[in-house]
Amino acid sequence: MRAWELTADLAVVGTGVAGLTAALRAAELGLRVVIVTKATIEDGNTRWAQGGVAVALPGTGDSVDAHVTDTVAAGARLCDEAAARAILAAGPAAVSALRARGATFDGDPSGLRRAREGGHQAFRIIHAGGDATGAEIERTLAGAVSEQGPLRLPVLEGHTVTEVLRDGAGRVAGLALLGCGDGVLRARAVLLATGGLGQLYAVSTNADVATGDGLALALRAGALTADLEFVQFHPTALYVGPASRGRQPLVTEAIRGAGAVLLDITGAPVMNGVHPLGGLAPRDVVSAAITNRMSATGTDHVLLDATHLGGAQLRRRFPTVHAACIQAGVDPGRMPIPVAPAAHYHCGGVVTDTSGRTTVRGLYAAGEVARTGLHGANRLASNSLLEALVMGTRAAEAVAADLTVAPRPAGSLPPPCAVRPVADRDQVQRAMSAHAGIGRDAAGLAAASAVAAASTPQRPRTPREAEDAGLTLAAAAILAAATARTESRGCHLRTDHPRTRARWRRNIAVVLDSTGAPMVAGPVPVGGAA
């Protein structure tokens, strides 16, 4: 007997940019929407996003073609170019829609101010509040769904999803929510917009809620996932000491775009001779160069010298970074900022087409949890907020179109909350950081896989246990893909296979086998999902 049951057309899991954009658009299209989050509406990664929205605005001398070129180059030849073009071309309209909802971006007399970040050959990143773009987007979208907003959408805060429920025909029929068996949200469509999985690593720029929940839910529902081995490390998280764990403050790339220089501990420039774009090379290149230099100098951080900007300008243009530095006892106007790479973004995820459809009927994904083909082996800076805006809108429109022809769920719902393997979170984080970060090899990947496999079967009864089950599965899936890719490409650097191999210019798909363990499957179907 379930304690309660709710019904909706669309259940949106997650309250980041993609989730809220989708929920708003779906409601505008007349769907009954319920938003579910394990935390509160403000608790996602969005508010920490300092980098802006990369968009080729008309009339700026930039073009979608140029943006696609930079995206594909950063993606180490593993992007789906058609998907990238479709998503990036929809950028200007997505930004206009967000501004129409009330978001304000930084401007100058010639229009929106545009900055540069790593891998971009053009000034095309728009920001809000200097380095507080995520906070402004979240304010806008959360305001629109709130009690005071025009649509007033129901938000189930503090509800952990344990399973995507499917009917006898395999179609999505709703969500099981904690406590086990107590709550069910019946929905003909489910959109996963749960963000990333930075908490798989000991040190990350991600919020505490980024525990790979959506990836695990999709895998268990039978969805195809791909490019999981590509976990992007941001080159410059603020380094606050050797014992630091969890979320670290980001030091945005836009500071390098404004001329800051990476130096090693001896004062030698890190990026000289490494890449034609120097400190503004794609993120995987900069993170790898920093890692090499740290190893050569026997240190665990490097320095970012932004003193040429001076304290007043840093405070005005980069208020979030400035405040974090001051709090850590570093005056960035007077001294270089200690920085080190940290887990930042999952380039792979649940395979979708460019309308957010996964390979499971009725299941959609958008934002970081999804793999559209835009990012390839390494995401271009500030393409993620753009992708979330575009794909949130498109997924909502796809749900509305699909529901007009979808049959009603057949039969009763299966009982939720199966027993799942759960490994120790601290051990998993340490193993992933040691063996599945920048610089991997077969022995290390096997050691990390053994840690993930040293799990005990549990029926998750608390949000923390449900997260741990998700982290365990996400780790195993990433490790399976990383083990299979015997080359180095983008964010995936293998010390035992340092070269990029033409035969590996293909995407690795992962699904669950009949025992529930991740297995590497065939190639990703052209055009993404079914």
Q: How far is the CB of 1 from ligand SIN (least distance, A)?
A: 46
CB of 68 to ligand SIN, least distance (A): 17
Residues 205/251, Cβ–Cβ less than 8 Å: no
Q: Is 252 in the site for ligand SIN (CB under 6 A)?
A: yes
The stretch among 38-46, 252-260, 273-281, 309-317 that binds ligand SIN (CB under 6 A) is: 252-260
Give least dist CB 477 to ligand SIN, A.
22
Residue 233 vs 364, nearer CB to ligand SIN: 233
Closest distance to ligand SIN from the beta carbon of 210 (Å): 13
Is 254 a binding residue for ligand SIN by CB under 6 A? The answer is: yes
Q: Which stretch binds ligand SIN (CB under 6 A): 251-259, 428-436, 474-482, 509-517?
A: 251-259
Distance (Å) of CA 180 to CA 3, 215, 230, 378, 418: 10, 20, 33, 38, 9
Task: Please tell me the chain's helix, strand, coil percentages from 3-state DSSP, rounded to the nearest 5.
Answer: 35, 20, 45
CB atoms within 10 A of CB 47: 19
Q: At what angle do helices 442-453 and 463-484 cross, to 10 degrees?
A: 150
CB nearer ligand SIN, residue 230 or residue 345: 345
CA distance 370 to 357: 10
> What angle, 0 to 180 degrees and rounded to 10, lies between the N-to-C axes of helices 81-89 and 64-74?
140
Candidates 45, 50, 352, 393; binder of ligand SIN (CB under 6 A) is 50
* Strands (DSSP E) found in 216-264: 225-226, 231-238, 246-247, 261-263
Which among 45, 17, 46, 37 has a CA at the least distance from the CA of 157? 37
Q: Could you tell me the smallest distance in angstroms from the CB atom of residue 479 to ligand SIN? A: 24
Give me the 4-43 binding string for ligand SIN, x by CB under 6 A, dash otherwise. ----------------------------------------
Q: Which amino acid is at 189?
A: A
Contact 33, 401 (CB under 8 A): no
Stretch touching ligand SIN by CB under 6 A, among 62-70, 245-253, 260-268, 402-410: 245-253
Q: Does 204 bind ligand SIN (CB under 6 A)?
A: no
Q: Which residues of 126-165 are buried (b: 16+ CB within 10 A; e: fewer)?
A: bbbbbbbbbbbbbbbbbbbbeeebeeebebbeebbbbbbb
Residue 388 C-beta: closest distance to ligand SIN, Å:
11
Which position among 14, 16, 19, 51 is part of the footprint of ligand SIN (CB under 6 A)? 51
The active-site residue out of 283, 379, 394, 420 is 283
Alpha helices in 336-424 (DSSP H): 383-403
| 472 lies in the binding site for ligand SIN (CB under 6 A) | no
Q: Which residue's CB comes closest to ligand SIN?
A: 51
Among residues 53 and 363, whose Cβ is nearest to ligand SIN? 53
User: One symbol per residue from 371 to 390: x for binding ligand SIN (CB under 6 A), - otherwise; what is it?
Assistant: ----------xx-x------
Q: Is 499 a catalytic residue?
A: no
Amino acid, single-letter form, for residue 352: T
Nearest distance, CB of residue 171 and ligand SIN, angstroms: 35
Find where tokens 């299979």 sit: 484
Binding site for ligand SIN (CB under 6 A): 50-51, 250, 252-254, 345, 381-382, 384
What residues act catalytically? 283
